[in-house]
Amino acid sequence: MRFKQDFFEQLPEFYSQVWPAGLPNPRWLCWSPEAASLIGLQQPDDALLKGLAGNEEIPGASYYAQVYSGHQFGGYSPRLGDGRSIILGEALGPNGAWDVALKGAGPTPYSRHGDGRAVLRSAVREFLVSEALFHLGIPTTRALAVIGSELPVWRETLESGAITVRLARSHIRFGHFEYFCYSERGAKDKLLQLLNFTLAQHYPHLSQDMAGYRAWFFEVVRDTARMIAHWQAVGFAHGVMNTDNMSILGDSFDFGPFAFLDTFKEDFICNHSDPEGRYAFGQQPGVALWNLQRLAQALTPVLASDDLLAALNTYQDELVQAYLALMRAKLGWGADGSDEQDQRDLTLIGEFTQLLEANRLDYTQSFRRFAALDPNDPKPALRDDMINLQGFDAWYQSYRDRVGQPADLAQWQRQRAGTNPKYILRNYLAQEAIAAAEQGDNQPLQQLFELLKKPFDEQPDKEDYAKRPPDWGQGLIMSCSS
């Protein structure tokens, strides 16, 4: 790995230097060749294993934990920071630089009462979902590898310690700005320093002045809205949308109790620690706006309120337009750009998801039906899934009116197959692969990983992975303890 150390060198007051505690008997559990290529790595080898486990120093790396704060479940936590993640610097690749972070590398000055560790189960989940989201075309941090070990780590029970090697375009979170606004009260110079750094690194087209800052915040709002549109369109629930888990670049970030929906349920909650459903699937668009409002508030020392408000006011439209574009691609609809059509389409989409919910249908499977649907067919396979046929027939008539007859049906269906994944990371699939890996059998994990790289392909020998979960695996709710 070749590194540059811009954050480390330019922002010395924004982190603590810290060494990884190391892992006994480390072994490769997962390796993503696609992520590796981003930073010019070819093969996992022994020297790299020792380095990423934290057992030997990696040449050129600086070891540091960033300080940040954030709103967690609505309340402000004045000091969080990387309590179990150590960043090595920005690794240089053929198309830019990627922060390399060892998540689970041991305690840091921000660990408070935590052990600084991650367990195999959570490390593998983060690995799988990072790469799965990427292959679904959703902006996300990436995962290079998971390293397992014989380190005993206590959660609800005795588990083993592991490290996810995360690659991120940036680790700067909404919470970084909140920290330098509230927790370091009056540190306007630091807020500005952070903002200028962010612009220089990631928004080179923007100037470091009021006009540039203003344009930047509009982009943050836009990119956050687009990320959320992707989550809602694919049926992804993040589970812990605290502001310290919101990447400033609009990449999906920090994967804990996430879930892809199986049976569609608007108010589906995937996080065991969220009984109120603050972060329920259907709440995500509103929560992201709330989070952007917290970010805006933290930016008031450096940006005019009117500018911040003007940007926040674009959120809904950015979200709706991005969501409509994705859903139209899934359903096979064109667009004429009119408000009337937008409204009608939103209504029609909402009616469809209501049908899914009322008929207790699987979100992914139901949309995948469109890949084999002929709009000329009055009784498509999708109809056979429904209990409420009358409701479906009424909706389907509107759908057919909307879609018209495709000029080239085969091509139209290929397009639907390319926008409605067949395979998603269902929680029960992750569970099965993890259970095997915990017993020393990596094969199911490797197979699942390979499957998720081609979510839109038929992969006829993998049909079982497209099925609905067995009874034990329905609507699994994950605990936050990771």
Ligand X SMILES: Nc1ncnc2c1ncn2[C@@H]1O[C@H](COP(=O)(O)OP(=O)(O)OP(=O)(O)O)[C@@H](O)[C@H]1O
Residues of this chain that interact with ligand X (CB under 6 A) are 80-85, 103, 110-111, 114-117, 240, 244-245, 254, 256
84 labelled as ligand-binding?
A: yes
State the Cα–Cα distance between residues 442 and 416, nearest whole angstrom: 33
Instruction: Kindly tell me which of 124 and 466 has the beta carbon lying closer to ligand X.
Output: 124
51 labelled as ligand-binding?
A: no
Q: Which does 139 bind (CB under 5 to 8 A by kind): Mg ion, ligand X, none?
A: none
For the stretch 217-248, what's the b/e string if a residue is b when 16 or more beta carbons lie within 10 angstroms of its beta carbon? bbbbbbbbbbbbbbbbbbbbbbbbbbbbbbbb
Q: Which does 116 bind (CB under 5 to 8 A by kind): ligand X, Mg ion, none?
A: ligand X
> Do residues 322 and 229 touch, judged by C-beta distance below 8 A?
yes
**Closest approach of ligand X to the CB of residue 102, in Å:** 11
Q: Which does 84 bind (CB under 5 to 8 A by kind): Mg ion, ligand X, none?
A: ligand X
Outline where 235-283 has alpha helix (H).
none
Please list, in sequence order, all residues whose beta carbon lies within 8 angstroms of the beta carbon of residue 34, skipping any fewer than 6 positions away: 131, 134, 453
CA-to-CA dists, residue 216 to 55, 179, 197, 198, angstroms: 40, 19, 12, 10
State the Cα–Cα distance between residues 335 and 199, nearest whole angstrom: 34
Phi-psi region of 24 (alpha: psi -120 to 50; beta: other; left: phi over 0): beta
State the Cα–Cα distance between residues 409 and 100, nearest whole angstrom: 45
For the stretch 425-440, what's the b/e string if a residue is b when 16 or more beta carbons lie within 10 angstroms of its beta carbon? bbbbbbbbbbebbeee
166 labelled as ligand-binding?
A: yes
Q: Catalytic: 464?
A: no
**Closest approach of ligand X to the CB of residue 20, in Å:** 13
Tokens found for residue 63: 């070891």
List the x/- string, 330-369, binding to Mg ion by CB under 5 A.
----------------------------------------
Query: From the CB of residue 410, how many other CB atoms can be counted at a distance below 10 Å?
Result: 8
List the x/- string, 218-257, binding to Mg ion by CB under 5 A.
---------------------------x--------x---
245 labelled as ligand-binding?
A: yes
Instruction: Kindly tell me which of 143 and 466 has the beta carbon lying closer to Mg ion.
Output: 143
**Closest approach of ligand X to the CB of residue 135, in Å:** 20
Angle of the 305-312 helix axis to the 284-298 helix axis, nearest 10: 170
**Closest approach of ligand X to the CB of residue 121, in Å:** 13
Q: Which residues pair with 158 in a beta bridge?
A: 154
Say which of 244, 251, 262, 362 is annotated catalytic. Answer: 244
**Closest approach of ligand X to the CB of residue 244, in Å:** 6
Instruction: Kindly tell me which of 84 and 222 has the beta carbon lying closer to Mg ion.
Output: 84
Binding residues for ATP: 81, 83-84, 103, 115-116, 166, 173, 254
Binding residues for Mg(2+): 245, 254
Binding residues: 81, 83-84, 103, 115-116, 166, 173, 245, 254
Contact positions vs Mg ion (CB under 5 A) = 245, 254
The catalytic site residues sit at 244
